[in-house]
């Protein structure tokens, strides 16, 4: 009488084993330890998300060093923010500046922090994540057809158009999906 239910349990376990084996363990890993291995710590300041996340995603503070965030957050730079006006009241600016600099790439121990701790400016003189040497090296094989000339992407500044889990700070290759192209195999 007791042999029958335990047989069912064994069969159930075998079925799970097959499902996991079929896709090379991906699902097991995604639900487990890999899910928490973000490249940079996710954004954890509501004021910053609200004020700086409307024209592009609110970039994680760990994507730029503190000197770069300070330059971007200066009142003059905010008035002419990469061609837009992103000016803030003094109070908001102080809160956001304190949050970004305290959690900047040179202040955090994230997996990619050291690589993003190097600051480079774009043609307009403002620091850019997308001008960082590590960033350039990772993206230089992607043709303009899939970025600037792709209406669903437009610019490298729109990280989350290609990195499906950018908001969680996960930029791993398996979470890339370029609109009109799909996953990236190089």
Q: Can you give the length of the chain in residues?
A: 186
Closest distance between ligand HEC and the C-beta of residue 177, in Å?
9
> Would you say 67 or 157 has its CB closer to ligand HEC?
157
> Would you say 20 or 93 has its CB closer to ligand HEC?
93
> Would you say 26 or 172 has its CB closer to ligand HEC?
172
Residues that bind ligand HEC (CB under 6 A): 39, 51-52, 54-56, 59, 63, 72, 81-84, 86, 88, 96, 112, 128-130, 138-139, 141-142, 146-147, 153, 155-159, 161-163, 171-173, 176, 178, 184, 186
> Would you say 67 or 158 has its CB closer to ligand HEC?
158
Closest distance between ligand HEC and the C-beta of residue 92, in Å?
8
Interatomic CA distance for residues 165 and 77, integer angstroms: 29
Interatomic CA distance for residues 96 and 48, integer angstroms: 6
Dihedral over Cα of 124, 130, 135, 139: its sign: negative
Interatomic CA distance for residues 141 and 119, integer angstroms: 21
Interatomic CA distance for residues 60 and 171, integer angstroms: 11
């Amino acid at each position: 009488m007791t042999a029958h239910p335990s047989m069912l349990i064994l069969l159930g376990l075998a079925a799970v084993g097959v499902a996991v084996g079929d896709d090379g363990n991906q699902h097991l890993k995604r639900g487990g330890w890999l899910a928490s291995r973000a490249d940079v710590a996710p954004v954890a300041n509501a004021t910053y998300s609200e004020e700086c996340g409307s024209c592009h995603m609110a970039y994680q503070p760990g994507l730029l060093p503190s000197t770069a965030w300070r330059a971007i957050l200066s009142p003059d730079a905010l008035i002419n923010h990469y061609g837009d006006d992103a000016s803030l009241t003094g109070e908001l600016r102080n809160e956001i500046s304190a949050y970004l600099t305290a959690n900047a790439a040179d202040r955090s121990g994230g997996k990619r922090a050291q690589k993003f701790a190097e600051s480079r400016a774009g043609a307009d003189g403002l620091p850019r994540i997308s001008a960082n040497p590590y960033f350039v090296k990772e993206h230089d094989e992607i043709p303009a057809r899939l970025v600037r000339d792709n209406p669903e992407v437009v610019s490298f500044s729109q990280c989350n158009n290609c990195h499906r889990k950018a908001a969680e700070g996960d930029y791993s290759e398996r979470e890339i999906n370029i609109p009109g192209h799909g996953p990236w195999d190089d």
